Structure formats: C-alpha cells, structure tokens
Amino acid sequence: MIRPLPSQMPSLHSGGAALLLALACWFTSPIPALAADATAPNTSLASARRIVVLGDSITYGGEYVEFFESWLRLSAPTSHVEVLNLGLPSETVSGLSEDGHAGGAFPRPDLHERLERVLERTQPDVVLACYGMNDGIYFPYDDTRAARFQDGIRRLRERVLARGARLIHLSSAPFDPLPLGGRTLPAGRTAYPQPYEGYDTVLTRYSDWLVSQRANGWEAVDVHGPILRFLTQRRETDPKFTLAGDGVHPTRLGHWLIARELLRHLGASEAVVNADDPDVWLRAIPKGPEVLQLVQRRQRLLKDAWLTHTGHRRPGMSTGKPLPEAQREAADIDHELHALLSVPTDAPVFPGQRSEWFGFPRFDFEVAGKPVMVIAPHLPAPGKPWVWHGEFFGHKPKPDIALLGRGFHVVYTSVPDQLGGPEAVAHWNRVHQHLTSQFGFSAKPGLVGLSRGGLYCYNWAIANPDKVACIYADAPVCDFKSWPGGKGKGPGSARDWQLVLQRYGFKDEAEALAYPNNPVDRLAPLAAAQVPLLHVFGDADEVVPWDENTGVIAERYTKLQAPITLIRKPGVKHHPHGLDDPTPIIDFLWAHTANDAAKAWLKQRSPTP
C-alpha cells in the first residue's frame, strides 16, 4: 500500500571569547562511572559526533576548549565525539570594526562571511555561541552598536536553527583595565585607538541582554557574571590579581573559568564546578592529566587545517597541514586516547587507504579492480547493518552520518557510466559477496538510489530480491526511456542515452525502446519478497519526471500488494534531493535494515529513536 508522509596571536583589540559548538546527536554511547568528580555529561553531548568551536582569539588560543573536551572524554570514554576548534582571531558577530584595527592592516573579520561555509562543511547539529568582547569595538556603550550585536546574534541563531540544530549561547568574559596600567582612555572621546577604560560596562549590558533572552526560550549561559565575581573576590586579598595579562586574553585559570561555566550548564558534577583550579580536578581522576595532553595535541593539530578548509578572510593565519593528513594524524591520537582509557577503538579492519569522513574512519580499496569505499561506525551495531549507495555518495550526508552514529556501515561502489547495466549488476554481486563473507556485513543492506542511482539499486535488487532489506530512492530513474532516453516529458541526455545503448548491448535504439526489463517492468520479485520502498520526489521534476518513474513504480507496486511510502515535495524540481528534516529517511532505513538485536542495542544507549 502507499503510505503518504508529510514533506519533509593577535593584538589587544582582537581578543574575546566566542564559540560555535556543533554536535551530532544520533547515537549515545554507554557511560561508565569513572570517579566522583567525573559525572556523565548531558546525553546529547555523550552522543555527539562532532563539536565545532567558532570564535575569536580567545577561542583560537583554545585552552577552555581543551578543558571541555578533556571533561567530555573522561566522562564518556566510549564516546567518539570529535571536537574542532575553528576560532578566528579578531572576529565579531556584529560585523563592526574600529578604524585602524590591527594598525590599519585589515578590518575585523565578520562571522557571517564564513558562517554558511562552516555550517555546510562541518554539518553541526548543536551550536553554542559566545560573542561580545570584540563587538563593542572597545568604545563606550552606544545603542547603535548594541543593536548591531543583537542583530548579529539573531542572524546567527536564524542560520543555526534553520539547519535544525540546537543553539546554546554564552556571554563574553570580562574586560579588565587593571593590567593595562593606564593604557586606556576615558569616556567622551570620538576615537579610541586604545580601549575605553570602562569597556566592561559595555560587556555587562551585552551579557545582561543575552541572558534575558532565556525568557524567550533561549539557552543562555552566563560566563561574564561568574568570572567577574571570581575576579572581584580574589582582589579583596590580592589587589593586583588578574585573569588576563592584557585585559582581554585569559590566563590558563581564566580559560578554566570559561570552561567551568559551560560544564556547569552541561551537568558536570559538583566536584568539577567547584574546582577553582583545573589541575585539582584533573589530578583527582585517573589519567586526567594524560588525557588533557593528548587532547591538546589533537586540537592544535586540527585547528589551522580546519580553518583553512572552511575558509576565512583574516590575513596572517597559519594554513596548517592539508586536512586529510591532519585527520589521519588526529585519528592516531584518538586511538591513543581510547587505549589510555581502555575502551574499544575503531581499529582498521579494512584494507586500502584510511582517511576521515565527518569524523568517521573511511577506507578506500578495490574489489575486482574497481574502487569501493567503506565508512565505518565507531561502534558497529549487532549484525553489522549497512547502507549501499548507487551514485552520488556524499551529496546529502545527514542520513548517512546519523546511521553511522547508530552503528551502520556506509558503502559506495564506484562503477560510473554503467547506468545500472549488466556489468554494474555483476560487479555489485562481487562486492556484496566480498563484504558479507570477508567482513561479516549483514546479508541484506538498505539501498540508496539518488537520480540515476535508482537504476543501479533497482536492477541489482530485482536480480537479488533475497539480499535487499529496503530501497530508499530519491528522484530516481526507474525507466531509462524516460531518462536519459528523453522519450517522455523530460529532455533526456544524448550522451547518456548512447551509454545505455552500449552498456546494455542494444544493437540500435529500437531494441532499447522495446526493452522489457526496466525497473518499472520487473517489480514482481521485489513484491514477492515484500521489500519496502521509500520514494522522495519533487512533483515538478523536469529532469526525471516523477510520473514516468516514481509514479509508475507506486501504481504497479501497490497493485502487487507490496509496501511503498511516498514523500512528495510540492513544486520541487529534480534538485534539491533529500529532505530538510531527514528523519523519515533515517527512520525508514533503520527500521527495515537493522535487526532486532541492533535495535535493542541502540535502545540501551539512547532514549531514541
């Protein structure tokens, strides 16, 4: 039956604390009790795939990020969360810059210039943002500048929430004029080549506004207030005490206080949030200092590589190592961390070249002389469920990332320009036999067919109905007469039509048009095996007309009393593929591909799905 679903190092002025914290929340690892002061983190953190930190020079300095990751690793040692520091010195969220910034060398970078690239290339699922230090540009308070700060925060919030991500805000750390020894300026000037002496009153108002947004449902963590109280209290006994040698950039203790407020919000134990010194906390936990050292190595290796990969406009920054090289070295450090904590690792079990894909180990090797790519989960689910892509792997990665978090393997077999012909089917047979016999993969993968990938998935599935768990097809080609033949509503593709004639061994076009074995013609084997189908399609598809492909499949599969689900995207053309909220796709593949043991295994580790 058809089941319709809904559509689915810097100068003084470049300081400040800011971060973007991105988490994939698809999988929760078991969290053993380690010590009295290592409390299990919020479950969304324990289940994180990736945490991305954005900000200015305080974030780029990175010690509070390293404290945070160390806490996370010690609290949830089986988690394979990846924490990336993408702090950019001098940056603002307001887009403002004072005249002569950095000696006139360059204006302050604006977060919004790079935000979309960062979100797209890192795929964050939860965002934590703390801005303010640079946003008042070290001038006295001004309503216009404050409005620019607030507007920048709202724009950040809009872009993050539009991606379905959770957003947590932090207020800025304080500005301290004492260490500057009079190198500040009083109110009433038109220019401030040095900071305004009362600049922390500006940050206080920015912080108060941000925290007030809790009334509107925002998650807002007050960093500014607690650190200012700590500083004031220490000065009662030591008038020269400071947390920032230049008034802006925190000392190691200052970084710990930033991290501590974040950890307090995330549910850290009293032993953690009451520690006035990070070493007191770390020494109380077995292997705590050693974990911090490895985390620091990993963070500092990846920082510049990721900044270069995502792109920015600030001059004077190191490019770091090429990202694939940095990721390989980071993976080795990750293995050291898990060995230190005595938990299972994702040690390589596949041949070929290893790299990283969204924080998961990727292996590229050959089967029968043709490329195969396997993305491995950190903890495989019982039965080793997997999804197998026909074409265009990585185009819409969120479902794959989510399934990797649930213990799936993800596979792509590269046989381009075969258009699902006999040679492609034969090679898929070889790959299936290799993965199931050599690596213990489940006998029945879930197939993923985007566009022409539909021909690959359907033709192989029809030839092997007992080896298919389900098919997710997205704007799929199901009849080569429609595309690339162009014999219906669509324009077709002359080049690919010639490939069809060659790959299928037709002597001429007439023989191709008379071919009776397109997927739309051979659904009976799949129906007999009751293979579930999910089709996502745009009903204005001008390339692969839905009514010549998905529509025919749906009508005929229903008549065969076999299960098919349709998700129609009104007014959408061939692109974009997928769904803004991919949950229906993820749940479909999970429900039909994971066995009962895998489902029970995940349920023990997470309250969802």
Please say if the pLDDT value at position 78 is more than 80.
Answer: no
Rounded Cα distance between 442 and 383, Å, is 6
- Considering only 43-47, 148-152, 295-299, which range has the smallest mean pLDDT? 43-47
Question: How would you classify residue 352: left for phi > 0, otherwise alpha for psi between -120 and 50, otherwise beta?
Answer: left
- pLDDT at residue 354 in the model: 84
Q: How far is CA 457 from its chain centroid?
A: 27
Residue 508 amino acid letter: D
Rounded Cα distance between 101 and 493, Å, is 54
> pLDDT-based confidence at 150, cuts 50/70/90?
very high
Does 3.40.50.1110 match the CATH number of domain 16-279+299-312?
A: yes
3-state secondary structure of 325: helix
Task: Let me know if 25 is exposed, middle or buried by CB neighbors in 10 A (0-12, 13-18, 19+).
Answer: buried
Mean per-residue pLDDT for 330-337?
Answer: 85
Please say if the pLDDT value at position 32 is more than 80.
Answer: no
- pLDDT at residue 327 in the model: 86
- pLDDT tens digits, residue range 425-453? 999 999 999 999 888 899 999 999 999 99
- pLDDT at residue 501 in the model: 95
- pLDDT tens digits, residue range 284-313? 788 899 999 999 999 999 999 999 999 999
- pLDDT at residue 604 in the model: 67
Rounded Cα distance between 405 and 466, Å, is 27
Side-chain half-sphere of 196: how many Cα atoms within 13 Å?
21
CATH 3.40.50.1820 range(s) for the chain read: 353-605
> pLDDT-based confidence at 403, cuts 50/70/90?
very high
- pLDDT tens digits, residue range 472-525? 999 999 999 999 999 999 999 999 999 999 999 999 999 999 999 999 999 999
Note the CATH number of domain 353-605. Answer: 3.40.50.1820
Task: Let me know if 218 is exposed, middle or buried by CB neighbors in 10 A (0-12, 13-18, 19+).
Answer: middle
> pLDDT-based confidence at 605, cuts 50/70/90?
low
Please say if the pLDDT value at position 43 is more than 60.
Answer: no
| DSSP assigned state of 240 | T
CATH 3.40.50.1110 range(s) for the chain read: 16-279+299-312
- pLDDT tens digits, residue range 152-205? 999 999 998 887 777 888 899 999 999 998 899 999 999 999 999 999 999 999
- pLDDT tens digits, residue range 361-385? 899 999 989 999 999 988 888 889 9
Tell me the torsion sign for CA atoms 91, 93, 98, 104: positive
**Letter string b/e over residues 463-479, b meaning 16 or more CB atoms within 10 A of that residue's CB:** bbeebbbbbbbbbbbbb
Rounded Cα distance between 271 and 588, Å, is 43
Question: Of the ranges 158-172, 342-356, 377-391, 448-462, which is most confident?
Answer: 448-462
- pLDDT tens digits, residue range 245-261? 999 999 999 999 999 99
